[in-house]
Structure 1
């Protein structure tokens, strides 16, 4: 039986559903006979991150379902020990293609064969985009939030025996690591750190405790942190991307708790926060305190080239269904990978109108939590435009 997270509206149901090898925890609202909308969270989030928008979307005339993704929250494995997930455990179930399979299986488990719209935020945005890329007849429209989808990893169009194949993620290359470490001051990129063996232990043993760490991390990536003034980066050169804030370009010797702690909110800032109250934060602290972060971190591990390259089978394929990109105007995630936003518009999506590339002022990375009303308005506009009822 699922534990109902604190602070949910009465209209939201919390339950477990057998999906593939999982007992998947979902939050849902709306009549199950209505068209389906699926909401996929990111890291370090939960289905709970959609709590402020589930009911308003359902009131548009949809059955809305937000799962705890594999490795998160109350979703557990029925075939292997679930928590704590260890770094040395089999990474196979966390491969991106298998997470897409989880979503497809969820659709069928709910009794549907098509989805009116799939909406993904942060790490969930890539999964949602791949769902629409691979199964366009099932996923009839797409909303990508906060993290642009630049398309599947490329293959060489014409083989050159001298030129090596392009690396889908050179951020893991030893050369980039050395270049960042040689900067003054030296840096490291957060993705390889999250994919490494130390990240879970570092965060679970944050010097001021889990509550203080999660509060600082959410604060620093939100519009509440005044230094979030994102802009396009004109080069992938390490010296240029080192301009990213410390939650992306970390000091070389710092853990993630150490990187964000100097920018933690004051007591007055915490008291003034209405988009993530102490009561709501306690849900995240409780769940991650119980499960650890490794399940979510495995998503970063699975984006390493040796696991990511299987997606090259889709190289050159575009997302044809109607698409929208929605993010906070104060979200550095929009620009953290130079050129990704432009590639999403010009190459990855063939049906993404300029009017559907929306940056919400006053929101950082957690746009559906920081600005839920505006998020709902934009979704309503997009759904009406593409006639997904």
Structure 2
């Protein structure tokens, strides 16, 4: 009836990636809710395919073609090189970034676990490692190159944002990706290497030399060819065992090469098998260690280039984990720094978790680390932004003025998006690499009329090609563009809900 309390209505649109804002009449709604119900690639109408209106935008089942790839591997062109990636699962994107000396396989436990829990997991071999390209010049390994590679990965997968999880050098990459491009990071989980402030006067290698001396692995790795020559005295399996099972500081005594100083364990712990080591061994036999060592050789150049970010903070939500027996945790004041106020001043939205294990905790303690990662992914807040015009003129009928932002836990919209007294209802969903149909089912409170829809296309204007609206008992009413992605009916739905 025309004077009913609620007016059910639907919108249909064809698009790739959009935020839909549903505008109400002046005065707003005392209550209202909106639910995304359609648009999986390959399905004309997922509401009819069994998803129903209760399943909304970030359900891992919605944004794929109904297929899972199992364990997929591919090489992706990014930032002028090719990166090899392991990929599994569907849902929100999670990047897993390994450290030294590892490859994607270091995340084998987390790849399975996160994919099973509704995430699209991508674990690259970082540049210089495994099956990825390895530029010869160490100046091609600054943190700017590494972050550029990661931005290219996000673009390749069509994602404006992703969760990022890093270990060791992968943590350094995660810190700096969040520093340079916080708009591309939903939340960050880093393992083993905290975010240290940049010295304004002392280069990185000189600072390390002052604290740890010439025997530090960072110092020994600086000279091109030195570490490679020392490593070559051992077979690759032994080199991998020495590093993966390290229990002491990476600081060699005077006149001794680090690789000779590191112990070779007589037996393997339960968490690391001969088969595991052979996976690493095969790739490092093929690609060598020069690419990974070049990260260290570019540290001072990175220090120079980071000057504009002197004193900058990491402003994304963040969880940091470190093993209680990590040699790096127990030396150089790291334990005090990680658990003190300075770290939190640099990373305001920080949670610190100390887990059982040494340096390679994602392999040594996979159950706890994986569980900690998942809990962070599920509780990280994402702000859905109202896309009203910037004017706060109270007479603006459809904005009146822009509403405040609101937060939804990740994965977004696994439950129906509900809130009270809304003037603008943002519905935010993922990019799908093909055209599709989808829709919003919504109820307008008190005001039984429909004014307009603003479809703001995150991927670039023009991809939204058609918008229709219908009442409870009407047919589909074609909407027309007003301006940009502002679509209107030319009339309300009053009296059309019976």
Q: Does 1:380 align with 2:374?
A: yes
CA distance in 2, matches of 1:257, 1:280: 21
Q: C-alpha displacement at 1:376, in angstroms?
A: 1.1
| Structure 2 residue runs without a partner (length 5+) | 1-68, 381-408, 412-498
- Residue 333 of structure 1 corresponds to which residue in structure 2? 328
- SS in structure 2 at match of 1:251: coil
Whether contact under 8 Å (1:203, 1:256) holds in the other structure is no
Q: Does the 8 Å CA contact 2:250/2:258 hold for their aligned counterparts? A: no
Tell me the equivalent position of 1:125.
Answer: 171
Partners of 1:388 and 1:98 in 2: how far apart?
A: 30
For the pair 1:19 / 2:46, whether they are aligned, the reply is no
Q: Which runs of 5+ in 1 are unaligned?
A: 1-9, 77-81, 156-164, 181-186, 222-244
1:94 aligns with 2:141: yes
Q: Which aligned pairs between 1:1-389 and structure 2 lie closer than 5 A?
A: 11-31=70-90, 34-76=91-133, 82=134, 89-115=136-162, 117-151=163-197, 153-155=198-200, 165-171=201-207, 176=210, 180=213, 188-197=215-224, 198-206=226-234, 209-221=235-247, 245=248, 247-260=249-262, 263-266=263-266, 269-270=267-268, 273-304=269-300, 306-339=301-334, 340-341=337-338, 342=340, 345-352=343-350, 356-361=351-356, 363-386=357-380, 387-389=409-411
Deviations along 1:21-55, one digit per CA (max 9) or x if unpaired, are 22211011112xx2111010000000110011102
Let me know the Cα RMSD of the aligned residues. Answer: 2.1
C-alpha distance in 2, partners of 1:347/1:205?
Answer: 45
Cα distance in 1 between the residues matched to 2:279 and 2:341: 36
Secondary structure of 2:295's aligned partner? helix
Q: What do residues 234-258 of structure 1 show as CA deviations (whole Å, max 9, x unaligned)?
A: xxxxxxxxxxx3x421112222221
2: CA distance between counterparts of 1:345 and 1:69?
Answer: 27
Q: What is the distance in 2 between the residues matched to 1:344 and 1:26? A: 35
Higher relative contact order (CA 8 A, sep 6+): 2
Q: What displacement does 1:343 show?
A: 6.7
Give the deviation of 1:328 after TM superposition. 1.4
SS in 2 for 1:72: coil
1:93-128 Cα deviation digits (max 9, x unpaired): 21111111111111101121111x111100110110
The structure with the largest helix share of the pair is 1
1:369, distance to aligned residue in structure 2 (A): 0.4
Task: Kindly tell me the number of residue pairs found equivalent between the two proteins.
Answer: 311
State the alpha-carbon separation in 2 of the partners of residues 315 and 279 from structure 1: 44
8 Å contact from structure 2 (residues 251, 258) kept in 1: no
Structure 1 CA distance for aligned equivalents of residues 169 and 328 of structure 2? 11
CA contact (8 A) 2:74 2:86 kept: yes
- Determine the C-alpha separation between the residues in 2 that align with 1:258 and 1:367: 24
Give the whole-Å Cα distance in 2 for the aligned partners of 1:40 and 1:315. Answer: 24
User: In 2 relative to 1, CA 154–331 (structure 1 residues): closer, same or farther, beyond 3 Å?
Assistant: same
Rounded Cα–Cα distance in structure 2 between residues aligned with 1:348 and 1:168: 18
TM-score, structure 1 normalization: 0.75
Q: Is the 8 A contact 1:148 1:334 kept in 2?
A: no
Please tell me whether the aligned partners of residues 150 and 343 of structure 1 are also in contact (alpha carbons under 8 angstroms).
no
SS of the residue 2:231 aligns to: helix
Contact persistence 1:11–1:55 (CA under 8 A): no
Q: CA deviation at 1:191?
A: 0.5
C-alpha deviations, 1:301-350, integer Å up to 9, x for none? Answer: 1112x442211211121111110111211112234443552476233201
Pair 328,21 (structure 1): closer, same or farther in 2 beyond 3 Å: same
Q: Is the 8 A contact 1:100 1:130 kept in 2?
A: yes
CA distance in 2, matches of 1:281, 1:13: 21
CA separation of 1:201 and 1:107: change in aligned 2, threshold 3 A: same
Partner SS for 2:354:
strand
Would the alpha carbon gap of residues 343 and 123 (structure 1) be closer, same or farther in structure 2, given more than 3 Å must change? farther
